[in-house]
Amino acid sequence: MIGQIIKKQALVLIRNPVQLLLLVGLPIILILILGVALSSFMNGESPTIQVKLGIVEQEQEDVQLERFSEDKKGELPPAVLNQLDNMLPIQRLKEDVFGSDEATKYITLEEISPSDKEKVLDDNTYTALIEVPDNFTYEILEYSLLAEEKQPSLQLFTNTEHQLGVSIVDGILTQYQEQLTLQTFLQEEAINPENLEENLQNVTGDVMTLDQQVPISSKDYYTVGMAVMNVLFIASAIGSIAFLEKSIFVFDRIILANVSRWVYFIGILLSGMLFAFLHLLIIFGFSWVVFDVTWPDLLGFTFVTMSYAVAVGGIAVLLTALSYRLHSEVITNFFSNILVSLMALLGGSFFPLGDSSAFIATLGNLTPNGAGMSAYISLLRGNELSDVTDHLAFLLLFGFISIVIAAWSFPKRGAAL
């Protein structure tokens, strides 16, 4: 008789193509959309950044260098004056910093004449403009070599519409300033930079790998996220079917046929577990064929899927019992329309919220979909089944408690009639 009830539930689902399409087709569509749209973010890829940077020199460095050499002949030894060509800050900024192979991938540096400054400032295609004031290099050399108190500064004009590019330019200039400050300190303390670099290279340490795991792609993540979320609709679908059977007196006829209400109860429970298990296999099978989402531990995958199916079956029979007890489908509608979305959000189906907060991660793992997702993701990362036993225990306990509450709430024979 239990088998007939399961068969009846399956036939009702199959004969409702719209609901079947939503249960199976919706998660597949969401995996395709989210997996492709968020692949760069989830895979840790760098966003495409193109920074157009201009630099204006109000006075050429070679002119300032020649003037500095003439003015400081009596203050600096000839050996230092002969090395001034290697100490030009703007030349180094243009060639060694913004002209490096790494920087040129993202930054295009253009030298702008002073007369075109206002034109560039009005050009929205520029991310930023660096203005080098008159006598800048001269004052930098004085500050570095003669310990002058006045430290010259560049002026940076930024485009507020290019915040990411502006932050990159600002960060590069900040690091460059720190390098100049370090060099000034080394000169003041008569420290040879080559000796400092050699000492730093002699510093050794041990590198220990604490936990090396397989990286998770966006398609891996959203396959799991959409599967554990949408399988919850199996529970609400079975609950709705069961309530419809009560409304058209199918349940009453079963009771009048002298069939125990517990037979019907167990049939609903097993239907929820079986359909949830098959639903998960279909979704993960699709992702395996299309996205090559493979499971390193098939035994662990099977145990997690069975445990999650138990939890979904418990929810299905609980929704059925409560709707029978309340003589209303409102609890089932609330679960499918509101509660599933909240649980999916906390469980991380849409976004890994738990990565930003340990409290949210713990709260998410206290939902069946969150615990199931954590277990699946852990297996995809190459962990063993023993590493997810706490999630399996929670899913089985959740299913058991749901079944107990459902059994207590399920109407007795007289009440059902």
260-269 tens-digit pLDDT: 777 778 888 8
Q: Which of 18-27, 230-239, 261-270 is predicted most confidently?
A: 230-239
Q: Return the closest-CA partner of residue 216 out of 352, 75, 334.
A: 352
Give the mean pLDDT of 122-144.
Answer: 85
End-to-end CA distance of the chain: 20
Q: What is the pLDDT of residue 175?
A: 79
Asked if residue 417 lies in contact with residue 252, where contact means CB atoms within 8 angstroms, the answer is yes
| Mean pLDDT, residues 20-46 taken together | 66
**Letter for the amino acid at 64?**
Q
Per-residue pLDDT reduced to its tens digit, 193-214? 455 455 544 544 444 444 445 6
Domain extents in the chain: 1-44+218-409, 51-191
pLDDT at 210: 40
Concatenate the DSSP letters of all residues of 229-246 into one string.
HHTHHHHHHHHHHHHHHH
Q: What is the pLDDT of residue 182?
A: 63
DSSP annotation string for 133-192: -TTHHHHHHHHHHS--S-----EEEE-TT-HHHHHHHHHHHHHHHHHHHHHHHHHHTT--
* pTM as predicted: 0.59
> Which of residues 183 and 235 earns the better pLDDT score?
235
Average pLDDT over residues 311-331: 87
How far, in Å, CA of 125 to CA of 60, rounded?
26
The proportion of the chain whose per-residue pLDDT surpasses 90, expressed as a percent, equals 10
Confidence tier at 398 by pLDDT (50, 70, 90):
very high
Asked if residues 306 and 331 have their Cβ atoms less than 8 Å apart, the reply is no
Q: Is pLDDT of 21 > 60? A: yes
pLDDT band at 345 (very low <50, low <70, confident <90, very high): confident
- What the block records as the tokens of 77 is 């030894």
Residue 225 confidence (pLDDT): 85
Dihedral angle, C-alpha 322, 327, 329, 334, nearest 10 °:
-50
Beta bridge pairs of residue 158: 128
Choice between 192 and 125, residue whose per-residue pLDDT is larger? 125
* CATH number of the structural domain 51-191: 3.40.1710
Q: Provide the residue type at 321 as one letter.
A: A
Beta carbons within 10 angstroms of residue 106's beta carbon: 14
Q: What is the pLDDT of residue 203?
A: 47
Q: For residue 375, give Cα distances in angstroms to 194, 379, 380.
A: 52, 6, 9
| pLDDT number for residue 208 | 43
Which is it for strands 128-132 and 155-158: parallel, antiparallel or unpaired?
Answer: antiparallel
Q: Is the pLDDT of residue 397 over 90?
A: yes
DSSP 8-state symbol, 51: E
pLDDT value, residue 22: 75
